[in-house]
Chains A and B, each alone.
Chain A
Amino acid sequence: MPQILTANRLLDGEVVYLAADGAWVETLDAAAVLATKAEGEVALATGAKAELNQEIVHAYLFDVVDAPVLKPVKQREIIRAAGPTVRTDLGKQARL
């Protein structure tokens, strides 16, 4: 199953994802979808480095489905990607 690398940004705790160019981005759509286990391991190594550089905290991989639309498998990651379902005026969903 394809995966995405995520973490929380050190400064403000914002949920971030690793993009293909190595940047940490705030939206799921801009994240790199990692198709293989090897790609996942490379991403985790990038994450570990970013933790040492005080950019992010606690990087980990989570499962996504990428068709028909990119979507996390688990509810936890769906909520992290959007914000509280009971306050749609807050979080990433409010900035769309």
Chain B
Amino acid sequence: MYRYDEFDQKVVDERVEQFRGQVARRLSGELTEDQFKPLRLMNGLYLQLHAYMLRVAIPYGTLSSRQLRMLGHIARKYDKGYAHFTTRQNLQYNWPKLADIPDILADLATVEMHAIQTSGNCIRNVTSDHFAGAAEGEVDDPRVWSEIIRQWSTFHPEFSFLPRKFKIAVTASAKDRAAIKVHDIGIVIRRDATATLAFDVYVGGGQGRTPFVGHLIGEGIAANDLLAYLEATMRVYNQYGRRDNLYKSRIKILVHQIGPDEMRRQVAAEFAEVKAQGALALPQAEIDRINAYFTAPAFETLTEDTSRAKQRQASNAFATWHDINVAPHKVPGYAIITVSLKPIGGVPGDASADQMDLIADLAERLSFDEVRVSHEQNLVLAHVKQSDLFALWQKLDAAGLGTANYGLITDIIACPGLDYCDLANARSINIAQAVSKRFADLDRQRNIGELKLKISGCINACGHHHVGHIGVLGVDKKGVEYYQITLGGSGDETASIGDIIGPAFAENEVADAVETLVDTYLNARQPGERFLDTYRRLGIQPFREKLYVAH
């Protein structure tokens, strides 16, 4: 993992004390709310429906056990004993008091954490593949490059007042688990014909009010040119991005309006200039320095563990969990574990302080001291010995963390929605709970297979509904919640934006509607087809006919 050097620590510590002074001045009246609001947002502090909300940055979703324990400690000491993992791989506290925020930030700083770049019109916390460094077929650890981008982007003076927020995601796998094509910039790291690292840069993707899949703008960029290319892209955006209209200010609108060819041309021209200046050429020594922080852990030389066959026979529940939540690791004898934060009928992404402590302990003992947060709101233990899986599962299961549903219909993404969020038009969590309970039967879930259901409580799309195989968007009709359904979205390497199927449904109709859609798929699917495959083969019409006849 990356560790702060003395400069990092100093910057973060100073930032805490600056904010302590700003809070004191706000409470004494020296600062008005209008003056204070941009300052608190720069430190991740929002005011939501019921209370303040503090959003803590988890760079590329990687945590040490010490950091996770501190997140649990803060939940217990300053909040209500739980917190919420978000689709940006961050963590949110829902109930902190304003006067406590400086102390919370000071506690975070002791474990090299902060809330910088979690709000405002800057380059936000960089996200990445939650299986980084463990996945089979990965060409490099994408967190090395995420960290290099983070260091370049944090407090970058030229990009501290962008037209709008800016989100970057990085993957180094052909299988995209980081939804890179629906980010302002998405980066795919691959190896070219000579096995040299090459960076494909997708620009102008995004969700929100006007969703787009990103375009390949920079192809095969060399490693030492990566920052120069990103700088060039940001400069084009900073110059031409619209500041006059909030709804047209993201880079996706610029790319859409001028077209990918013109965007490519402009970035190339700017890139030539940045390169000519030379200041952003990444020295190999610097790449090596960051690489050293992400050296693979000291894996033992193991063979495939055979004891699991016996354990699987002894416990059906373990066997099922193993089939669903355990992914293959690149090193023989190891496995990648998804700890589901989606218990049936629960709140997607919420974890109690006790659960955080338990996962931190398990990570420390069994997974080289590392935890990942996935953008799908689960936690990942990336390096577990196969021979430890049974004991690990028993501990997780006893703490309500053994739900077997990774990638299934109850592994739902949901934003906090109108239960917490000031921007929301409708609740999201209640819909997730209703669908989760409806499809609680695991045999049924497994028969349905991979189905990504994603729910947002407003058009800002924090719940990623546009890229859900089934997406649900909450809307407000004269103060009453309604839900619009989209089909056929995908956030992976075959990214697509979902199509709206028809008129919205009332709250109590959504689970029925989802069931109708699933049944339509089950009746129409060909062998081996997932929901998304069947949808792509048949189109929306058969689903629409069933849905609106049934209702």
Q: A66 to nearest B CB, angstroms?
A: 16
Cβ contact within 8 Å between A12 and B479 = no
Q: B276 on the interface (CB 8 Å rule)?
A: no
Cβ contact within 8 Å between A75 and B419 = no
Cβ contact within 8 Å between B429 and A8 = no
Docked CA distance A12–B50 (Å): 9
Docked CA distance A85–B433 (Å): 12
Which listed segment binds B: A17-25, A28-36, A76-84?
A: A76-84
Cβ contact within 8 Å between B481 and A13 = no
Docked CA distance A54–B27 (Å): 7
Chain A residues near B51: list those with CB within 8 A: 8, 12-14
Chain A residues near B481: list those with CB within 8 A: 75
The residues in B between 7 and 36 inclusive whose CB is less than 8 angstroms from any CB of A are 26-29, 32-33
The 5 closest A-B pairs by CB, nearest first: A74-B479, A13-B51, A84-B419, A12-B97, A13-B52
Docked CA distance A10–B97 (Å): 9
**Which one of A10, A15, A76, A90 contacts B80 once the chains associate, using CB atoms below 8 Å?**
A90
0/1 string, A23-62, CB within 8 A of B gives 1? 0000000000000000000000000000111100110000
Interface size band for B: 20 to 34
Docked CA distance A88–B427 (Å): 15
Docked CA distance A11–B480 (Å): 31
Q: Knowing A74-B479, A75-B479 touch, does A58 contact B420 (C-beta < 8 A)?
A: no
Q: B292 on the interface (CB 8 Å rule)?
A: no
**Which one of A13, A73, A74 contacts B48 once the chains associate, using CB atoms below 8 Å?**
A13
Q: Knowing A84-B419, A87-B347 touch, does A11 contact B99 (C-beta < 8 A)?
A: yes
**Which one of B28, B97, B420, B479 contacts A84 once the chains associate, using CB atoms below 8 Å?**
B420
Q: A2 on the interface (CB 8 Å rule)?
A: no
Q: Knowing A86-B429, A86-B433 touch, does A53 contact B50 (C-beta < 8 A)?
A: no
Cβ contact within 8 Å between B50 and A54 = no
Among A51, A52, A74, A86: residue with most chain B CB under 10 A: A86
**Which one of A12, A51, A75, A80 contacts B33 once the chains associate, using CB atoms below 8 Å?**
A51
Chain A residues near B430: list those with CB within 8 A: 85-86
0/1 string, B238-279, CB within 8 A of A gives 1? 000000000000000000000000000000000000000000
**Which one of B33, B80, B95, B420 contacts A57 once the chains associate, using CB atoms below 8 Å?**
B33
Q: A65 to nearest B CB, angstroms?
A: 11
Cβ contact within 8 Å between A58 and B99 = no
Q: A28 to nearest B CB, angstroms?
A: 14
State the total of A-B contacts with C-beta under 8 angstroms. Answer: 78
B residues with a Cβ closer than 8 A to A are 26-29, 32-33, 47-52, 80, 95, 97-99, 347, 418-420, 424, 426-427, 429-430, 433, 476, 479-481
Q: Knowing A53-B29, A75-B480, A84-B420 touch, does A12 contact B347 (C-beta < 8 A)?
A: no
Cβ contact within 8 Å between B98 and A11 = yes
Q: B34 to nearest A CB, angstroms?
A: 10
Q: List 25 A-B contacts (CB under 8 A).
A: A10-B27, A10-B33, A11-B27, A11-B98, A12-B97, A13-B50, A13-B97, A13-B98, A14-B51, A52-B32, A53-B29, A54-B28, A57-B33, A57-B47, A58-B33, A73-B479, A74-B476, A75-B418, A75-B479, A75-B481, A76-B49, A79-B419, A85-B419, A86-B347, A87-B347
Chain A minimum-CB-distance residue to B99: A11
Docked CA distance A53–B33 (Å): 11
Q: Knowing A10-B27, A11-B98, A13-B98 touch, does A84 contact B50 (C-beta < 8 A)?
A: yes
Docked CA distance A46–B446 (Å): 59
Docked CA distance A53–B347 (Å): 38
Docked CA distance A85–B474 (Å): 16
Chain A minimum-CB-distance residue to B420: A84
Chain B residues near A87: list those with CB within 8 A: 347, 419
Chain B residues near A75: list those with CB within 8 A: 418, 426-427, 476, 479-481
Chain B minimum-CB-distance residue to A12: B97
Among B28, B49, B95, B481: residue with most chain A CB under 10 A: B49
